[in-house]
A and B are shown apart, each in its own frame.
Chain A
Amino acid sequence: MSIKYTNDHEWAKEDGGVYVIGISAHAAEQLGDVVFVELPEVGKTFAKGDDMAVVESVKAASDVYAPISGEVVEVNQSVVDEPAKVNEDAMGAAWFVKLKASNPGELDEMMDEAAYKEFAENS
């Protein structure tokens, strides 16, 4: 399946039965240089919309919300170690967590690439 986005600039993409979650390249650009990322522990469960992670630039801290409900099965320690990766490859290597979805139907409520592009341009 294709990549999906939330109004809060998270993305989710299915990969081998779990969902990879990150923040959009647009969000990373708006934040500016990322200097700190805090990720949840493996095994933690979230409902859609819960505070799940934190990303901070020099100036400000932003919450990252769970785009779908589920359990954290893997976190990307490399973005914690090198937060600047978020600015370099937000949509790829700088993913945040992998979630086992408890309600995959929630993906249907998210925006597709074209809809998000339009949303980001107008927000």
Chain B
Amino acid sequence: MSDTLLKTPLHALHQSLGAKMAPFAGYDMPVQYPLGVLKEHLHTREKAGLFDVSHMGQASLVGSDHETTASALETLVPGEIKKLGVGRQRLTVLLNDKGGILDDLMVSRTETDGRLNIVVNGACKENDFAYLNERLPADVKLERFDARGLLALQGPKAAEVLAKHAPDAADIKFMSFAEMMIGDIAAVVTRGGYTGEDGFEISIAGEDTEKLARLLLSDADVEPIGLGARDSLRLEAGMCLYGHDLNEETSPVEGNIAFTIGKRRRAEGGFPGADRIQKELADGPSRLRVGILPEGRAPAREGAEIQSADGEKIGVVTSGGFGPTVGGPVAMGYVDTAQAASGTNIQLIVRGKALAAKVADMPFAQHRYFRG
């Protein structure tokens, strides 16, 4: 079994750091280090955490000019790509013909005219790339960067730490990126991440990945962080995990990520499943992803049934657990839109018992981005 798992460029480093490894997205990945999920989570919120996200799919879409490449991608995503500025990044979703989400992805516009960079989820990348190859016109090519590494440095100390080796990094604004040297390592540095904290995602050549990781980990403020804390951090930040909170059935409107649909695109359509999505935008979806705060201390986890205060089934929990920063259980899930207002009393069925809970605004832990 483990023979068939892929390894990131940091595999040996994870093992030498004492990580507990487990299969994730086809890779042998660190779930936690000796510090443990709880302390890794809190350390990231307090100082800075380093995450190996090299399992994610990095690629470029290349056409003759921006109009060509952006137009091609816009046939598959509802995001505003044509007007994406050079050096800017945006989250959008890859859609199937029913308006369901095949993946969520980051799209960046590079300085090279006609070249967009994308980052997709590791577990989805083979399907995504096959879909892109099948659907993109012949004059727009997909270039995969399977050998590249991707590290995330997240937390309130991230900018200070990175600026010691790359002073310009401190000036990058949220959802923007720049190419720069980190020490003697050539990197593409994007401000943003998956924790709700200020931070960076850093793309480097595969062979430079361990060197950069060691450089950043040598800082007293930086600890390595595993997938366990990555999940609790993104859950508190109200962010979706594909395959759990989003899937091929859910639309971006139902998923409460309608911000991934550009304003012009809402009117014009021209993306897969536009009929459904435009109708949901106009009339409201029948169900909606919401935040949930259980009232007691018992966590409600993925799959827990959600009932109205009257005991009628209205949905299901798609992510849930203990939020270390919140200091109690947090969850998200889909409920009938009529019950989706913040503050609505609901019940969660955990081990056969109904636990009182409320629909709650997300994020559960305040976002702290650097907007300049």
Chain A residues close to B by CB (< 8 Å): 32-33, 35-36, 38, 54, 56-59, 61
Whose C-beta in chain A lies nearest to the C-beta of B31?
A59
Tell whether, in the assembled complex, residue B231 and residue A33 are in contact, meaning their CB atoms are under 8 Å apart. Answer: no
With A35-B322, A36-B322 as known contacts, state yes or no: A56 contacts B36, CB within 8 Å.
no
Tell whether, in the assembled complex, residue A59 and residue B231 are in contact, meaning their CB atoms are under 8 Å apart. Answer: yes
Q: Is B264 an interface residue (CB 8 A)?
A: no
Query: How many residue pairs, one in A and one in B, have C-beta atoms under 8 Å apart?
Result: 42
Count chain B residues whose beta carbon lies closer than 8 angstroms to a beta carbon of A: 20
Chain B residues close to A by CB (< 8 Å): 31-32, 36-39, 41, 228-229, 231-232, 297-299, 301, 321-322, 324, 329, 351
Partner of A58, one of B38, B297, B298: B38
Tell whether, in the assembled complex, residue B228 and residue A54 are in contact, meaning their CB atoms are under 8 Å apart. Answer: no
With A33-B36, A59-B37 as known contacts, state yes or no: A54 contacts B351, CB within 8 Å.
yes
In Å, the complex CA distance between A99 and B39 comes to: 34
With A57-B37, A58-B37, A59-B321 as known contacts, state yes or no: A32 contacts B32, CB within 8 Å.
yes
- Could you give 19 example pairs across A and B, Cβ below 8 Å? A32-B36, A32-B37, A32-B228, A33-B37, A33-B38, A33-B39, A36-B297, A36-B298, A36-B299, A36-B322, A54-B351, A56-B299, A56-B322, A57-B37, A58-B37, A58-B41, A58-B229, A59-B31, A59-B232
Partner of A35, one of B31, B32, B38, B228: B38
In Å, the complex CA distance between A54 and B355 comes to: 15
Tell whether, in the assembled complex, residue B321 and residue A58 are in contact, meaning their CB atoms are under 8 Å apart. Answer: yes
What's the dominant secondary structure at chain B's contact region?
A: mixed
In Å, the complex CA distance between A33 and B42 comes to: 12
With A35-B299, A35-B322, A36-B297 as known contacts, state yes or no: A58 contacts B232, CB within 8 Å.
yes
For the complex formed, measure the closest distance between the CB of A10 and the CB atoms of chain B, giving whole angstroms: 18
In Å, the complex CA distance between A19 and B3 comes to: 45
With A33-B36, A33-B39, A38-B298 as known contacts, state yes or no: A59 contacts B228, CB within 8 Å.
yes
In Å, the complex CA distance between A24 and B58 comes to: 44
Whose C-beta in chain A lies nearest to the C-beta of B329?
A36
Whose C-beta in chain A lies nearest to the C-beta of B298?
A36
For the complex formed, measure the closest distance between the CB of B315 and the CB atoms of chain A, giving whole angstroms: 20
In Å, the complex CA distance between A70 and B38 comes to: 35
Whose C-beta in chain B lies nearest to the C-beta of A56?
B299
In Å, the complex CA distance between A54 and B31 comes to: 22
Contacts of B298 in A (CB 8 A): 36, 38, 56
For the complex formed, measure the closest distance between the CB of A65 and the CB atoms of chain B, giving whole angstroms: 14
With A32-B38, A33-B39, A35-B38 as known contacts, state yes or no: A58 contacts B301, CB within 8 Å.
no
Most chain B beta-carbon contacts within 10 A, residue among A32, A56, A58, A61: A58
Contacts of B301 in A (CB 8 A): 61
For the complex formed, measure the closest distance between the CB of A102 and the CB atoms of chain B, giving whole angstroms: 24
Give the top 10 A-B pairs by smallest Cβ distance, nearest first.
Answer: A33-B38, A35-B322, A58-B37, A59-B228, A58-B322, A32-B36, A33-B36, A58-B232, A32-B37, A58-B38
For the complex formed, measure the closest distance between the CB of B191 and the CB atoms of chain A, giving whole angstroms: 27
In Å, the complex CA distance between A56 and B324 comes to: 13
Whose C-beta in chain B lies nearest to the C-beta of A33?
B38
Contacts of A35 in B (CB 8 A): 38, 299, 322, 324
In Å, the complex CA distance between A122 and B41 comes to: 30
Tell whether, in the assembled complex, residue B324 and residue A58 are in contact, meaning their CB atoms are under 8 Å apart. Answer: yes
Whose C-beta in chain B lies nearest to the C-beta of A63?
B351
